[in-house]
């Protein structure tokens, strides 16, 4: 991003129902691909739309937020809000309204409505546990778009911050109350971000039941209602800080993505709503 450029993100919300199906697949194949998303249900959706441009020297704005809201309401939200996306929306009768496909549709729908201002990201949040982000791809012509999908999982665990490489006094001084010998605990939230091509006909970066089963097996089953210092071998010999936990989760998940159609891009672990830690794959 150029030094004189600023990015702004505006969020607008809508409510809609959907059911995910690919018409050419059998019932069993659809269920394997989409899991419970095959059944009719609804979500609170949020669109976070990013624009970049130069700051106007008179107004101090990249673009007037009121104009962004007016545009998004008239051209995007009006098409999605209080609809059943797979029936009431012409664009999603033949392609399933996954978060990935909705993000690609919103991107195309927005286009370039403001002079000198570029659309740079469309993030579609489907409920509290899934979101897709599309950042466009000028010139891509093979009918697939690269989209990031993030899904969230939770587990509850106890830990004690303590390093065997320091004395008891040093541990107490560094970690404070987190060094309590009997430990303390958190409700952790783990967000897994994968990136891959989306073929519009199927609408998924990855099979969601596969990702959910992977997260369940490698993260939740290993850590839920456990004591991280003693019960998780991957953390043996190190202080179970959330930095180390985030790295351990990334390393537990990564082997499953070898040869997969999507890449593991990022693991984010929230220790509390006020602090979170990211471990990212190297840029490709
Ligand atoms: Ni859904």
Q: How far apart are CA 158 and CA 181, in angstroms?
A: 12
For residue 216, what pLDDT is reported? 98
Residue 140 pLDDT: 57
Whole-number percent of the chain with pLDDT over 90: 88
At residue 114, φ and ψ (nearest 5 deg) are: -120, 125
Q: Is the pLDDT of residue 82 over 80?
A: yes
For ligand 1, the distance from its centroid to the CA atom of residue 48, given in whole angstroms, is 18
Q: Average pLDDT for residues 5-23, to the nearest whole number? A: 96
CA of 24 to the centre of ligand 1 (A): 20
Instruction: Report pLDDT for 257.
Output: 97
Using the predicted structure, report yes or no on whether residue 142 has a pLDDT greater than 70: no
Please compute the mean of the pLDDT values over residues 55-82 and round it to a whole number: 96
Q: Rounded to whole angstroms, how far apart are CA atoms 154 and 109?
A: 34
Mean pLDDT of the chain: 94
> Exactly one of 37, 100, 126, 218 is catalytic; which is it?
126
Note if 126 is an active site residue: yes
Question: How far does the centroid of ligand 1 lie from the alpha carbon of residue 125, in Å?
Answer: 10
| pLDDT reading at 3 higher than 80 | no
* Cα 30 to ligand 1 centroid, rounded to whole Å: 14
- Confidence bin at 145 (pLDDT 50/70/90): confident
* pLDDT of the residue at 4: 80
Q: For residue 270, how many other CB atoms are within 10 A of its CB?
A: 19
Using the mean position of ligand 1's atoms as its centre, give its distance from the Cα of residue 34 in Å.
9
Q: Which ranges of the chain does DSSP label H, i.e. alpha helix?
A: 27-34, 65-72, 78-80, 85-88, 99-110, 168-175, 208-215, 221-223, 228-231, 242-253
pLDDT reported for residue 256: 97
Supply the pLDDT for residue 138: 57
DSSP-derived secondary structure letter, 254? G
Between CA 244 and CA 235 the distance in angstroms is: 7
200 noted as active-site residue = no
Of these residues, 38, 48, 178, 200, which one is catalytic? 38
pLDDT value of residue 64: 97
Catalytic residue among 23, 41, 82, 184: 82
In the reported structure, the alpha carbon of residue 17 is separated from the centroid of ligand 1 by a whole-number distance in angstroms of 7
Q: What is the mean predicted confidence (pLDDT) over 30-47?
A: 94
Whether residue 59 has pLDDT greater than 90: yes
How many angstroms is it from 283 CA to the middle of ligand 1?
30
Render pLDDT for 216-254 as a digit per residue (tens, 0 to 9): 999 999 999 999 999 999 999 999 999 999 999 999 999
User: Is the model's pLDDT at 77 over the cut of 80?
Assistant: yes
Task: Give the whole-angstrom CA distance, residue 211 versus residue 257.
Answer: 10
The pLDDT-based confidence of 283 (bands split at 50, 70, 90) is confident
């Amino acid at each position: 991003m150029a030094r004189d450029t600023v990015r702004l993100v505006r969020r607008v919300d809508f409510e809609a129902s959907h059911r995910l199906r690919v018409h050419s697949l059998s019932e069993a194949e659809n269920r394997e691909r989409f899991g419970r998303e095959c059944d009719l249900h609804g979500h609170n959706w949020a669109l976070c739309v990013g624009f970049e441009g130069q700051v106007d020297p008179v107004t101090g704005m990249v673009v007037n937020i009121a104009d962004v809201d007016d545009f998004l309401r008239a051209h995007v939200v009006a098409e999605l809000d209080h609809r059943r996306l797979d029936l009431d929306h012409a664009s999603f009768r033949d392609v399933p309204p996954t978060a990935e496909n909705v993000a690609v549709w919103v991107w195309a729908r927005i286009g370039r409505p403001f002079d000198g201002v570029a659309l740079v990201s469309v993030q579609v949040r489907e409920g509290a546990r899934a979101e897709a982000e599309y950042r466009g791809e000028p010139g891509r012509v093979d009918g697939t778009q690269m989209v990031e999908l993030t899904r969230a999982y939770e587990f509850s665990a106890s830990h004690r911050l303590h390093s065997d490489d320091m004395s008891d006094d040093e541990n107490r001084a560094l970690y404070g109350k987190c060094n309590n010998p009997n430990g303390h605990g958190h409700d952790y939230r783990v967000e897994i971000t994968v990136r891959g091509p989306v073929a519009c006909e199927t609408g998924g970066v990855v099979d969601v039941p596969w990702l959910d089963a992977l997260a369940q097996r490698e993260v939740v089953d290993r850590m839920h209602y456990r004591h991280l210092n003693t019960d998780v071998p991957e953390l043996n010999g190190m202080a179970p800080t959330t930095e180390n936990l985030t790295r351990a989760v990334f390393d537990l998940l990564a082997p499953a993505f070898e040869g997969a159609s999507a890449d593991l891009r990022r693991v984010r672990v929230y220790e509390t709503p006020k602090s979170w830690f990211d471990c990212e794959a190297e840029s490709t």
